[in-house]
Each structure stands twice: as C-alpha cells, then as structure tokens.
C-alpha cells in the first residue's frame, strides 16, 4: 500500500511548474479590466501535503466550516497561533537537507474563493488571465474544478490563461499552498519562513488584440542630449509620447531631445502603447547604463551608490506589504539621502519599483535565489551546480527580468544571493545578458567575476576595500578591470553600524569603488503581545538565529534608528565644511547628476549652544563635483561663551519626497572655544562621626560615598567600565576577529569589585582611594576620587591608573555612574551632541547644540536591549535638580534601569523602570564597529586602558551657571 499520492509529487519536483503562461512585462492595467481577488478567503490547514484530496476544488464544495484568512497574507501570522507560527533561520534549512525532498510535516493551506465577473466584461472578446504575484513556496491551482497548473518561485509572478473556464457568476478559485517544496531549497534567504499567498491575486481581462509582452528601450545619449525610444511588442501597435511629440509604430526607433532619467532627477515621460485591443500606459525614463572605463556609468557618468539592502517587511503583515508601507520606505530613503536599493534577496512587490521610478532610486533587482544552507556540506549537491535544477533557475531569471524590464530605476540585475557557484548561475547570467544587454549583471558569489559585470563583496573591512580601490587586490584579470561595490556592509544590527563614515571616505577616494549598500533596511521584528517585537526563537523554533533578523536601519515599526540618521549624514549630497572661524565655508556638490538649485542654504550662529542669529546664505548653483568658498556674514557680537557657526542645506521648495525646509546636509565649526569649568577649592571638608560635608555636598564618613549635592540625593556613585554589550560587541559566532564581549566577560569587566583603600579628609579636598578589579584576575584600575568645592559647586576629579596587563583588553566604557531619585528625574537638558545617540564611530550626525528630552526619550528602543542612548561631547547636563559640567566634555546617558538589568534583558518588555534613574557620565566609550557581521571597530576607536584623569563639576540645576 502506498501513502504518497501522485497528486503531491509536484511538490518535490525540481521543475518550476506547469501550466503557467510565459512571463511578461508588468504594467498598470486599467481598473475596468482588473478584478482584484484579494480579501477574505476560506482556509483549511493540513499538517501534510497529501492529507486532503482535491474535492475542495470542485464547485459546490461546502467550506462553510472553514476558517478565513486574508489574502494577501501569511497564514502563520493570522489566526493567533491556530495556523502555526513563523520560524526564523539565517542560513540553515529548517528541514533535513536531501534535495529535492521535503519533510512529511509540510503545512499545507487550502484556500478557496468564490467570485463573480464584473458585469461589463465580455469574455467572448478575448480571454482572461489569472495572476499570482507571490505565493510561498508552492501552489497548485484549480478554477471551477479544473486543475490549471502548479508553480514555485515564491516572490515571482505566475499567470494562467483562464478565460475559457470562467462563468459570469459563482467562479470557484481553489489554491493549495505548501510551505515546503523543492523550491524551498532555492529560497534559503536570511529571513522568516512565512508560507501563504502573500501578494495580490488578480484576474485580468485580456480583450482580443491586447498586448502580450512589450519591452521599452529608452536610452540616452549624454553627448547630444538625445533620447532614443523603441517599444517592442508581441502585438503590433502605436507608441505615443505627447510631451515629446512621439507617435511611432512598435518596433520603430525614434530619437528626440529629452531630459534624462536618473535617481537624482527622475524625469518620466508618460506615453501609451496602443494596440487593437488595449492601451498600455508607459512611464518612460531615458537612461543608458554601461560598463565604460572600468566603471558603472549611467548617462556617461560614474555613479556612487549610497544604498541599502531592502527586504520586504511589516511587523504584522510580514512580507505581505501594503502600498503605503512601500511608499513610506521610499520616502524614508529619499529623506535620508539614500540613492540606491538592492532588493535583497528577491524581486520586490512590483509597485515598489514603480515608486523607485517615480521618486528616483537606483535599483539592483535581485532574483529569488539563495542556497546558503549548502555551505554546511561544502556546497555538495548545491542546486545551482546541478543541471537538473537549471530550468528552475532560468525560469526564475526570466520571471524577474520579464516582469521588471521596463523600469528605468532597475540598472543592475542580480542573479541571487549566497548560492555558491555553478553552471546554473552561469546559465542565468548568459540568458540575462542575451535578453537585456542594456543593464549590468551582479552576483556577489562570483569572486572571479566570470559571469558578472562588477566585482562585489560583502562586509570587507576598510583596509581591504581601500586596497581594492587602489587595484592592489589581485584576482583574475577580468576582475581587476571591473568596478567594485560592497553589496552589503555596515551591519545595522542593534547599536550601530559603526565605521560607516570611514567607509564613505574610502569610497570617495577611489574611482573604482562605487559605493555600497548597508545591511539592511528594516528590522524584521514580529509584533508580539508578549515582547513588543519577537525575533528568532520566540516561537519555539527548533533551530533559529535569535535577533540576527533584527539588523535594520529602521525599527520594525519603521521608526528610524540612530544608524539611519548617521547614514543620512555620512552620505549627504552636499558637503559643508571648512574652518568657519575664518568666515568662509566650503560647499561641495556631491551629487552625480543634480546641481544645487533645489537647495537653499542657511547659516546660524550659536552661543553656548543656543542660536542667537540666523539667516539665508547665498551659494552659487554648483554643478556636480564643484565646490565654492562662500563668505559668512560678520559674526554677531558674541558675549563671553562658546560660539560656533552652523550651516544647513535645505530643500528650497516642496518636492515629491520632502517638504520645503527639509535638511539635506549640514556642517558646524567652532569660533571661540569653550572654557573648561573651574572651581577654586576654597571650602574644606568638615567631618563628624557619620558625615563629611564639603560645600554643597555630604558624604558617608566611613566610605567616602557621596550622599547629596545641594539637597539632591545621590546613590551609588562609582567608577563604571561596563556596558550592556551590543550585538556588535557580541559579534557573530563565526567571527574570526576577537569578539570583545566574550573577552570582557571572561575578564569580569561586568562584575568589577570596588575595594576601599582610604578616605582622607584633607584641608581642601576629600580623597577616596579605591581599587576596581574583577575577581579571579590580577588586572585592576587604581581609582582615586578627589572632591573639592568653592562652597557652592563641587568638583570631582577621577584618576584611573591601570594595574596589570591590559594590552589586549580595551574597556567597554570609562566613567562614573550614580543614581538619582526616579520620581524627581524626568526632563533632561544638555549642551553638547544631539539630538540622538552617538558613539566614537557613529557620531557623524551628532550636532552640537542645546537639547531637551526626557529620561524615557533618551532611550533607543533596540529590539534586543543593549547599550544605547549616549550623547557625545556633552559640556553640561541638567536633570533631577542637578547640573553636571564636564572637564573635558563627556558621554552622557540616563536610564530607569541599571546596566546589569539592561544587559540581562532579552526583549524590551524585560525592562521595568525602577525607582532610580541611573546616570552615566563617561570619559570614554569603546567604538561600535559591525562585528555582528563584519569588521569590529577600527583601532582608532578603541578605548584603551591607560592612565586617565577626568573631572565633573556638580551644582544645583538652575543655580549659578557654570565656568
């Protein structure tokens, strides 16, 4: 007796499917010819692929007892757990690797939908096409009881001719979706496994004489300013572009003067392809992409990609993204100076590319292909090197290219991601080059660039990228002739990425380096009642990779993280620099195509961080690459404080993506320097049995511990070297570089003991001597706290002398921490870097000024809690009735939990505010780097244990001001 039914053999078949129409270009069809089948569908979940027979597909089947799900959607994200759960792995297949076989446990969702045709559809005139834009991972489809085929290729469209099967009313569409299939072996991207019909389902009326496929060829000759248009169509027709006076037959070329399309100047011309049966709207962008002089050039110019890798993500809907979220992504990118997207690691919902055309983003369109899990068996049996799978690979390549070929924003095709090497990839590249010679081909795994038009790497360190820029990297002859991109860098997991300003500087120094794409755009946190946002393991997965799925520049709810704000500053298209103290500012246009006419400039002048005057600054309309030295006005009469210029570049008028006044770039420069606070030690300590008083402060007489300053109670003030390790401190498990959090924990920096060696009340100072050291080790920090006062203000000088061998052991942080009453501490004001967090290698966006926030507002909500929220270069801060001035400037943070609690938390929901606000005043912080996937901090951002001295001056907030 056999348990396997032939009905499910297709699930494990390496072929791409049966019954679908050849792929073709995607375009907006008029509403009158479109019937959306999105909405509520009847749904039944089975545990295995062959558990149920096909009876449900028959008209008249009674599905009244079934549940319902929304289409588009993933069933595991619906039904409150009734339909299984999401599961996350980075590269491990969550099933035994035995291609093309899949497990018996194969969640299978039967979907049913009954629909009527729109009254005005005349099916005698032509036919109809049923389109699925995305189904994970394999579907079999029946219409009115007829099996019309089955398909794989989750993030690719599949169409079926169905006109002959349709009735005017009561059509029954039945779709059986299997979570696992042979196709799953090709879809091992680092993301949640989310089965379902997750993109639109549409019925399209195709009247006789309608377009089958069409290919818009719109090139630009930059020398002559001319665009050449030719639209090829399977069905003859005419092409009109009214704004250009074009009216030609399909297949005929026409050359006219045009404005070119670029990501910076996304000029689109509306046109129409009219055939006997249909009018197809065209959105034409004229541009020419080529490999010339070893560079990726568009319209004759080399471009610098300031990109991001974008997975599709919504915290509740998964990859079933709505149009508004897609638009929000594009707007957020544009507003943060991003000019390029790699659609990692599959073609996005087609509407996303329409938005990229319209708003202007360079796109690397990547095929739905990754076989990363085979790395665990040295790539043995890798489908991309096994001819049996080549038809499936070619099918995927064709479905991507044919669907997206008419988008001007798409400048590069990518074969896929992390799929090793093999003949199948070569076949894909050859097919793509042959079908579309007007774009370049990318694949990072092709280290010799056998099949590709550019050398691409991920996570290479700064030094190596620089070497590549200098063409000293070796490799095949072909590779050495090619341009370079970092298709992934700056791993934005948790706090970070660090070091991106240093990368940018290298990119800008060598022509061969054409920029990079930050990994990645958005955290894939799943909205979850228990945790706020869930990550891998939160659904009890057998195998998972934890919060590695939360590594984006946006939090899951699309709020920008500090990493995005940093990136915006690092890649700003206008550079404002120079020693502004001499009254001149140097403005550089760093666009590749646009001049600066869309921007207005504004100067402002700050005294002690507060703007005292501002005004417009007139800047010549600079061409790309040009600079000008612009004279600033006479500085306002300054008074005695610290003074500085700030110059901003703003949008001069509303644009499609940003309002007038939106800041595009800025620069700052000091004029007169800050005077460090000084306190003449005129008061001396006075002791009784219990207490020592010194000016406004009281101390415990036995321990020398500070008790209060000017009536504000202070607890637990002491040296602190520990930070709740960041994902980048922790580093990836496969990291060969030192993973600092491991070393720090080994040496006990998270459990330092404080030995009291002496409390000395001298004539003009109270001195407390301690040794701060971890159990089990000889390393220690001899730490002396010296307190002085002028009667009103209290100065603390901390001297730290390392003892033992610290050479291999940088410190996470070095500073003091203390507690204030939580009830009295809420609003926070500071003069220094802000408004957001900064660390030594993530501080480009930290702007010196006077800032206000609250303790809660100073927290950065990383999905997995970790060190966060430090403000850089703080001169002074006020909170909880206390004013603290630094000598020198310090890193400032405050939170309603301890570092130890932060360190122990796995989710935001673990952080429960206590009664104390813990304030950190740090002299130093270790760099952040990107070791969660990539290099750690550069050496210059290490916080080395060295003899160090730093001071703070405490007084009552609102009392006599500092210095």
Question: Which residues form the catalytic set?
Answer: 418, 488
727 scored as a contact of ligand GAL (CB under 6 A) = no
Question: Which residues, other chains included, contact 728 with Cβ-Cβ below 8 Å and sequence gap of 6+?
Answer: 491, 493, 494, 495, 496, 497, 498, 928, 929, 930, 931, 932, 936
User: Minimum distance between the CB of residue 523 and ligand GAL, rounded to whole angstroms?
Assistant: 11
187 or 418: whose CB is closer to ligand GAL? 418
Which residues in the 248-287 window bind ligand GAL by CB under 6 A? none
Phi, psi of 901 (to 5 degrees): -65, -40
159 or 444: whose CB is closer to ligand GAL? 444
Site map for ligand GAL, 332-371, x if CB under 6 A? -------------x--------------------------
What are the structure tokens assigned to 412, written together?
């590069």
User: Minimum distance between the CB of residue 460 and ligand GAL, rounded to whole angstroms?
Assistant: 12
Distance, in Å, from the CA atom of 263 to the CA atom of 358, rounded to the nearest integer, reads 9
Phi, psi of 141 (to 5 degrees): -125, 135
90 or 588: whose CB is closer to ligand GAL? 90
User: Minimum distance between the CB of residue 839 and ligand GAL, rounded to whole angstroms?
Assistant: 20
592 scored as a contact of ligand GAL (CB under 6 A) = no
Which residues in the 500-519 window bind ligand GAL by CB under 6 A? 519
User: Minimum distance between the CB of residue 91 and ligand GAL, rounded to whole angstroms?
Assistant: 7
Contact 429, 451 (CB under 8 A): yes
Contact 629, 583 (CB under 8 A): no
User: Minimum distance between the CB of residue 119 and ligand GAL, rounded to whole angstroms?
Assistant: 47
**Which listed residue (70, 417, 741, 842) binds ligand GAL by CB under 6 A?**
417
Site map for ligand GAL, 627-646, x if CB under 6 A? --------------------
* Nearest residue relative to ligand GAL (C-beta): 190
User: Minimum distance between the CB of residue 520 and ligand GAL, rounded to whole angstroms?
Assistant: 7
For residues 207, 208, 211, 213, the Cα torsion angle rounded to the nearest 10 degrees is 110
User: Minimum distance between the CB of residue 90 and ligand GAL, rounded to whole angstroms?
Assistant: 5
The radius of gyration of the chain from alpha carbons, rounded to an integer in Å, stands at 31
491 or 707: whose CB is closer to ligand GAL? 491
User: Minimum distance between the CB of residue 115 and ligand GAL, rounded to whole angstroms?
Assistant: 38
Length of the chain: 963
What is the full DSSP assignment across 657-694? SS-TT-EEEEEEEEEEPPPPP-----B--EE-SSEEEE
Site map for ligand GAL, 914-953, x if CB under 6 A? -------------------x--------------------
What are the structure tokens assigned to 765, written together?
């100072």
For residues 621, 622, 624, 629, the Cα torsion angle rounded to the nearest 10 degrees is -150
90 or 604: whose CB is closer to ligand GAL? 90
Of 126, 50, 934, the C-alpha closest to 463 is 934
What are the structure tokens assigned to 904, written together?
């122990």
Residue 209: left (phi > 0), alpha (psi -120 to 50), or beta?
Answer: left
User: Minimum distance between the CB of residue 492 and ligand GAL, rounded to whole angstroms?
Assistant: 9
* Count of residues engaged in binding ligand GAL, rule: CB under 6 A: 13
Of 234, 89, 893, the C-alpha closest to 549 is 89
728 scored as a contact of ligand GAL (CB under 6 A) = no
Q: Helix, strand, coil proportions of the chain in percent (round to 5)?
A: 15, 40, 45
Distance, in Å, from the CA atom of 287 to the CA atom of 304, rounded to the nearest integer, reads 16
525 or 677: whose CB is closer to ligand GAL? 525
What is the full DSSP assignment across 864-929? S--S---EEEEEEEEETTEEEEEEEEEEEEEESS-HHHHHH-SSGGG----SEEEEEEEEEE----
Which residues in the 74-113 window bind ligand GAL by CB under 6 A? 90
Which residues in the 543-562 window bind ligand GAL by CB under 6 A? 548, 551
Which residues in the 439-478 window bind ligand GAL by CB under 6 A? 458
418 scored as a contact of ligand GAL (CB under 6 A) = yes
Distance, in Å, from the CA atom of 910 to the CA atom of 720, rounded to the nearest integer, reads 23
454 or 458: whose CB is closer to ligand GAL? 458
Distance, in Å, from the CA atom of 106 to the CA atom of 121, rounded to the nearest integer, reads 39
Site map for ligand GAL, 180-219, x if CB under 6 A? ---------xx-----------------------------
189 or 414: whose CB is closer to ligand GAL? 189
Distance, in Å, from the CA atom of 665 to the CA atom of 47, rounded to the nearest integer, reads 55
189 or 561: whose CB is closer to ligand GAL? 189
* Footprint of ligand GAL (CB under 6 A): 90, 189-190, 345, 417-418, 458, 488, 491, 519, 548, 551, 933
């Amino acid at each position: 007796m056999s348990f396997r039914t032939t009905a499910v053999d297709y699930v494990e078949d390496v072929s791409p499917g049966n019954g679908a129409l050849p792929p073709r270009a995607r375009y907006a069809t008029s509403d009158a010819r479109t019937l959306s089948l999105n909405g509520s569908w009847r749904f039944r979940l089975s545990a295995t692929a062959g558990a149920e027979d096909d009876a449900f597909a028959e008209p008249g089947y009674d599905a009244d007892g079934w549940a319902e799900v929304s289409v588009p959607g993933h069933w595991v994200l619906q039904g409150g757990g009734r339909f299984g759960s999401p599961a996350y792995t980075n590269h491990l297949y969550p099933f035994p690797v035995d291609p093309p076989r899949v497990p018996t446990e194969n969640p299978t969702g039967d979907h049913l939908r009954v629909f009527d045709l729109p009254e005005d559809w005349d099916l005698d005139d032509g036919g109809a096409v049923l389109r699925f834009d995305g189904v994970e991972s394999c579907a079999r489809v029946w219409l009115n009881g007829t099996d019309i085929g089955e398909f794989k290729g989750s993030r690719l469209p599949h169409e079926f001719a169905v006109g002959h099967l349709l009735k005017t009313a009561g059509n029954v569409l039945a779709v059986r979706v299997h979570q696992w299939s042979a196709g799953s072996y090709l879809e091992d991207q680092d993301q949640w496994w989310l089965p379902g019909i997750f993109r639109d389902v549409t019925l399209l009326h195709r009247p006789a004489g309608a377009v089958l496929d069409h290919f818009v060829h719109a090139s630009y000759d930059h020398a002559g300013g001319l665009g050449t248009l030719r639209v090829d169509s399977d069905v003859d027709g005419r092409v009109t572009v009214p704004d250009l006076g074009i009216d030609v037959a399909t297949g005929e070329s026409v050359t006219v003067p045009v404005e070119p399309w670029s990501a910076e100047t996304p000029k689109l011309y509306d046109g129409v392809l009219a055939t006997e049966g249909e009018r197809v709207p065209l959105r034409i962008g004229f541009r020419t992409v080529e490999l010339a002089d070893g560079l990726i050039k568009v319209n004759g110019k080399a471009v610098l990609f300031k990109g991001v890798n974008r997975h599709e993500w919504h915290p509740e809907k998964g990859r079933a993204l709505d149009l508004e979220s897609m638009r929000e992504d594009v707007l957020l990118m544009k507003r943060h100076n991003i000019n390029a997207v790699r659609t990692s690691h599959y073609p996005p919902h087609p509407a996303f590319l329409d938005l990229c055309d319209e708003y202007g983003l360079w796109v690397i369109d990547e095929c739905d292909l990754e076989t990363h899990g085979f790395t665990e068996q040295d790539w043995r049996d890798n489908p991309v090197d096994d001819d049996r799978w080549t038809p499936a690979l070619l099918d995927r390549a064709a479905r991507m290219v044919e669907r997206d070929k008419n988008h001007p924003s798409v400048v590069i095709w990518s074969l896929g991601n992390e799929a090793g090497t093999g003949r199948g990839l070569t076949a894909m590249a050859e097919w793509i080059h042959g079908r579309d010679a007007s774009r370049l081909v990318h694949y990072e795994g092709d280290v010799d660039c056998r099949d590709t038009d550019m050398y691409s790497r991920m996570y290479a360190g700064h030094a190596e990228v620089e070497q590549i820029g200098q063409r000293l990297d070796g490799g095949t002859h072909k590779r050495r002739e090619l341009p370079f991109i970092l298709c992934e860098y700056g791993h934005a997991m948790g706090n970070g990425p660090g070091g991106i300003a240093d990368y940018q500087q290298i990119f800008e120094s060598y022509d061969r380096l054409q920029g990079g794409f930050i990994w990645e755009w958005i955290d894939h946190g799943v909205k979850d009642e228990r945790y706020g946002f869930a990550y891998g393991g939160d659904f009890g997965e057998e195998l998972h990779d934890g919060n590695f799925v939360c590594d984006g520049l946006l939090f899951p709810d699309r709020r920008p993280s500090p990493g995005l704000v940093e990136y915006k500053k690092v890649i700003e298209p206008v550079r404002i620099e120079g020693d502004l103290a001499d009254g001149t500012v140097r403005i550089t246009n760093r666009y590749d195509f646009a001049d600066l006419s869309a921007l207005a400039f504004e100067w402002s002048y700050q005294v002690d961080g507060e703007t005292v005057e501002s005004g417009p600054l007139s800047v010549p309309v600079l061409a790309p690459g040009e600079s000008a030295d612009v004279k600033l006005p006479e500085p306002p009469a300054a008074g005695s404080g610290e003074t500085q210029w700030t110059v901003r570049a703003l949008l001069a008028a509303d644009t499609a993506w940003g309002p007038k006044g939106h800041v595009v770039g800025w620069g700052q420069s000091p004029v007169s320097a800050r005077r460090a606070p000084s306190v003449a030690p005129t008061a001396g300590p006075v002791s009784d049995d219990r207490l020592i008083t010194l000016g406004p402060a009281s101390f415990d007489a036995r321990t020398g511990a500070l008790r209060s300053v000017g009536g504000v109670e202070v607890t637990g003030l002491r040296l602190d070297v520990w930070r709740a390790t960041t994902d980048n401190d922790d580093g990836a498990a496969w990291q060969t570089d030192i993973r600092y959090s491991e070393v720090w924990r080994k040496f006990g920096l998270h459990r330092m003991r404080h030995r009291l060696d002496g409390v000395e009340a001298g004539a003009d100072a109270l001195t407390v001597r301690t040794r701060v050291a971890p159990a089990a080790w000889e390393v220690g920090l001899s730490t002396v706290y010296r307190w002085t006062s002028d009667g009103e203000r209290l100065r603390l000088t901390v001297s730290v002398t390392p003892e033992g061998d610290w050479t291999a052991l940088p410190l996470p942080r070095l500073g003091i921490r203390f507690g204030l009453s939580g009830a009295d501490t809420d609003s926070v004001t500071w003069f220094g870097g802000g408004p957001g967090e900064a660390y030594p290698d993530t501080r480009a966006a930290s702007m010196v000024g006077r800032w206000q926030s609250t303790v809660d507002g100073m927290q950065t909500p990383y999905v997995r809690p970790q060190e966060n929220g430090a403000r850089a270069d703080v001169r002074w801060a006020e909170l909880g009735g206390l004013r603290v001035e630094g000598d020198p400037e310090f890193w400032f943070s405050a939170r309603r939990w301890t570092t130890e609690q932060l360190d122990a938390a796995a989710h935001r929901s673990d952080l429960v505010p206590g009664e104390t606000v813990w304030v950190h005043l740090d002299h130093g912080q270790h760099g952040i780097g990107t070791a969660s996937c990539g290099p750690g901090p550069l050496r210059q951002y290490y916080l080395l244990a060295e003899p160090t001295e730093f001071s703070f001056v405490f007084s009552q907030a609102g009392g006599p001001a500092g210095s």
